[in-house]
Structure 1
Amino acid sequence: MTVTPIAFSGSKLAAPACTLGEGPTYDPATDTAWWFDILGRKLIEYPLETGAARVHALPVMASVLARVDSGRQVIATETGLHLRDTASGRLELITPIEAGTAATRSNDGRVHPCGALWIGTMGKKAETGAGTIYHVARGKVTVLYPGLTIPNAICFSPDGSVAYFADTGSNRMMRVEIDPATALPRGEAALFLEHRGEGGLDGAVCDAAGTIWNARWGAGSIDAYSPEGRHQASLKVPATRSSCPAFVGKAADRLMVTTAQEGMSAEDLANDPDAGSTFLLDHPVKGRFEPEYRL
């Protein structure tokens, strides 16, 4: 069945455009959205009530943020997990991951309800097979899936029993049964869906009903898939390089979407003037708040 795209309805956030916007998340305790410009080495803080964006410079490329408690966050970077003091911005490396490999960086990742983190790495030039997905729990790092190119779409079912992930290099999304208590796989990963056509599978989130909302890089859209892999909806985004969605708002009922300018020529940018911007979509969703990372 062919899905008719739904025209964009929403707003562009009053925040700087990113070279590679990624890793959006939302802290309901402070009503604040956070996301990264990976290549620009920046962390953007955006209180939704005021819309007054703050840009925090980072010493390393980073791509994923999770709340630890009211005063601390953990961020995944090209050298591993750093503990970040929310007030001062001070960083402390707590869990090295590929810290001695200058050719790779962190990419997509997400915290499981048990407090463990799945985090993907990739080659800085998207080298074939240079990426890996790791499981990190209380500082212990376990290799899950090596030999990937661009790990993406890491998300978990509402009950924590299923994990999804994709390799944008092959446009295949995988599904694997996991232990809800540990987030470790219980068996082999199996093909969930294979995207054919415009764009590539990028970041994803899973809502309270188990629907997977996936950003399609190069197509300017967010696609919804049922837990059975059926394509249910396609929401248009006014920038072609849509990279990752996040549930935001005090009821987690709206989608925020990051985008990118990476790899675009001057002509491309002229034809895609909102590239790199971050958007808030009006389409209602039944989202979930992200769990805290457990040290």
Structure 2
Amino acid sequence: MTDLSFIRPDCAWDLGATLGEGPCWDADAACLWFTDIKQRRIHRLHPATGARQSWEAPDQPGFALPRAGGGLVVGMPHGLYHFDPGTGSFTRLAGVEEDRSGNRLNDGFCDAQGRLWFGSMDDAEEAATGAFYHWSGGAPARVLDGICITNGPATSPDGRILYHTDTVAQTIHAADIQPDGSLSNRRPFARIEAGAGYPDGLAVDAEGCVWTGLFCGWSIRRYAPDGTLLGSVPFPVANITKLAFGGPDLRTVYATTAAKGLSVQERAEQKLAGGLFTFQSPVPGLPPAKVRA
């Protein structure tokens, strides 16, 4: 097992997010994008200067990922939108689940081909109405269905495996990606034991290991490609929602957290809950890609 327990994450931005999510490193601009779903905000951090900027979204933004043609692709309830940070405007790109009124989009990822992978979920976190999709323009293609809270997703370094999370079932799955984007051979990759938290957003490092934030779990875990637990990074807050590798050498980990669900007493004890955290990883992450559609 790799000892990660000595790592002590620092709070890079104490912004008190209700549900911080979706950190994504933009290598060209050397900045980090992330969202606060429940406060309907999109945030940007320039680590080199410490500059911070925030924008209001018209609805709950599950993710905001850089787009190859400029701007970002933002997932909001029932649609994908182009976001222009210069003007703050949102332009609809594609409809998603307009027949599932209680759903919203939650967590997205761009693979090395520039293809967007994302999930949906029941906003009330009760019904198994969530699904996973990929999008390269046109109508999003549904590849999995019947999940309450979708999270992840991320791909292996060779782009052949999709890792995706069924949070309520405390299970990370793996599936083989076919040339047309469909999935086959879906199987459990890692199960989180009872009482240890719920797997949330994922990232894969250059060695093919899978890192996951644990909601209610006070840590980030690292798993080997065969699903063996390698180690964990302890956090001073309970709800870690997702991580991303960034910085010039892709060894700086940025992790979003959430104050959602904490009692008044827990909030007082976890003063940095909802903050953006950072630490140095012993291995680099994979180069981030931009959505090409």
Q: In terms of mean alpha carbon deviation, does 123-132 or 255-264 score higher?
A: 123-132
Offset of 1:50 from its aligned partner?
A: 1.3
Tell me the equivalent position of 2:29: 30
Offset of 1:259 from its aligned partner?
A: 0.3
Q: What is the 5 A alignment of 1:257-276?
A: 257-276=255-274
Tell me the equivalent position of 1:194: 191
Preserved CA contact (<8 Å) 1:10 1:280: yes
Tell me the equivalent position of 1:68: 67
Determine the C-alpha separation between the residues in 2 that align with 1:128 and 1:102: 12
Alpha-carbon spacing, 1:51–1:195, altered in 2? closer, same or farther (3 Å): same
Offset of 1:162 from its aligned partner?
A: 0.6
Q: What is the 5 A alignment of 1:211-230?
A: 211-230=209-228
Offset of 1:89 from its aligned partner?
A: 2.0
Offset of 1:161 from its aligned partner?
A: 0.5
SS in 1 for 2:121: strand
Preserved CA contact (<8 Å) 2:245 2:285: yes
TM-superposition CA deviations, 1:100-120 (whole Å, max 9, x none): 543111112211222221111
Q: What is the 5 A alignment of 1:1-295?
A: 6-69=5-68, 71-99=70-98, 101-179=100-178, 182-185=180-183, 187-197=184-194, 198-295=196-293
Which TM-score applies when normalising by structure 1?
0.94
Q: Percent of pairs identical after alignment?
A: 27
The letter of the residue matching 1:256 is Y
Determine the C-alpha separation between the residues in 1 that align with 2:200 and 2:213: 5
Alpha-carbon spacing, 1:70–1:97, altered in 2? closer, same or farther (3 Å): closer
The letter of the residue matching 2:32 is A
Determine the C-alpha separation between the residues in 1 that align with 2:229 and 2:172: 13
SS in 1 for 2:265: helix
Alpha-carbon spacing, 1:167–1:234, altered in 2? closer, same or farther (3 Å): same
Unpaired stretches in structure 1, ≥5 consecutive residues? none
SS in 1 for 2:241: strand
Determine the C-alpha separation between the residues in 2 that align with 1:157 and 1:92: 31
Preserved CA contact (<8 Å) 1:254 1:285: no
Determine the C-alpha separation between the residues in 2 that align with 1:7 and 1:220: 14
The letter of the residue matching 2:199 is L
Which TM-score applies when normalising by structure 2?
0.94
The letter of the residue matching 1:259 is T
Offset of 1:139 from its aligned partner?
A: 2.2
Determine the C-alpha separation between the residues in 2 that align with 1:7 and 1:218: 20
SS in 1 for 2:185: coil
Unpaired stretches in structure 2, ≥5 consecutive residues? none
Pairwise CA RMSD: 1.7
Determine the C-alpha separation between the residues in 2 that align with 1:54 and 1:264: 26
